[in-house]
Amino acid sequence: MERIQKVIANYGYCSRRKAEELLIKGKVKVNGEIITELGFKVGPKDIIEVEGHILEKQEKEYILLNKPRGVVTTVSDDKNRKTVIDLVPSNNRLYPVGRLDYNTTGLVLLTNDGELANLLMHPKNEIEKVYIAKIKGILSVSNINNLEQGILIEGIKTSKSKVKIRKIDKKNNSSIVELIIHEGKNHQVKKMFNAVGHEVLKLKRERLAFLTLTGLDSGQFRHLNPKEVKQLYNEILNSER
């Protein structure tokens, strides 16, 4: 017997967090009865229905996408904007692991493996995310120290990060900065730079764990191989020790 939100995620319907939202809204049935209890447990013989869909096991799929500018990192969009799902044809119900802003480019992982998605997104597992930001101005030593030690954003202190200056353009008063974090709060990177007085002009996610965009142009994607999937799980297991 397992908690129902975990089972829904493992079926590949959505992430565990989204499953909890659907439970609270009364969108989940087990054997014909609406279930709203987050701790409710189900077994292999139980029939689970989510938003009118009977859940069936899907073959796990893992896709790495180089997200272009002007695409939203959601399954659907009420403003009819192009989504990352539109760029990745699949017969499975995929969803993105975390989000990138509309105008932020770079690495997005899409999957129907809810358990892996949840593990990758949980801050306690400290999965590295590498961003390359073009910012206004030039970071001072004090700015770098503040970013690396953690700064207050809306009353919450960010975890420690790593900062590296890649390029300085004194003529145009701008810099290219590499920032490594393992959190994924809403607009976090932009808010971190704004907190030390620097506006982000362009932003790209270059790496997630060991995964990079090598060989992928903007808008292109590829499937992860079994070895890469196993390595992702191993990185998470090693971080928990």
- Three-state secondary structure call for residue 123: helix
The amino acid that residue 173 corresponds to is N
Instruction: Tell the residue number behind the tokens 């770098």, with chain if given.
Output: 144
- Three-state secondary structure call for residue 86: helix
Q: Is 46 left (phi over 0), alpha (psi -120 to 50) or beta?
A: beta
Instruction: Tell the residue number behind the tokens 């790209």, with chain if given.
Output: 204
Catalytic residue among 77, 78, 86, 101: 101
Active site residue 46: no
Q: Where are the alpha helices (DSSP H) in the chain?
A: 4-10, 16-24, 84-87, 114-121, 141-149, 188-195, 226-240
What residues contact 103, with CB distance under 8 A and at least 6 apart? 69, 70, 203
- Count CB neighbours of 197 within 10 A: 12
Quote the longest CA-to-CA distance of the chain: 67
- Three-state secondary structure call for residue 28: strand
Can you read off the two tokens belonging to residue 114? Answer: 């809810």
3-state percent helix, strand, coil for the chain, nearest multiple of 5 = 25, 30, 45
Residues with catalytic roles? 101
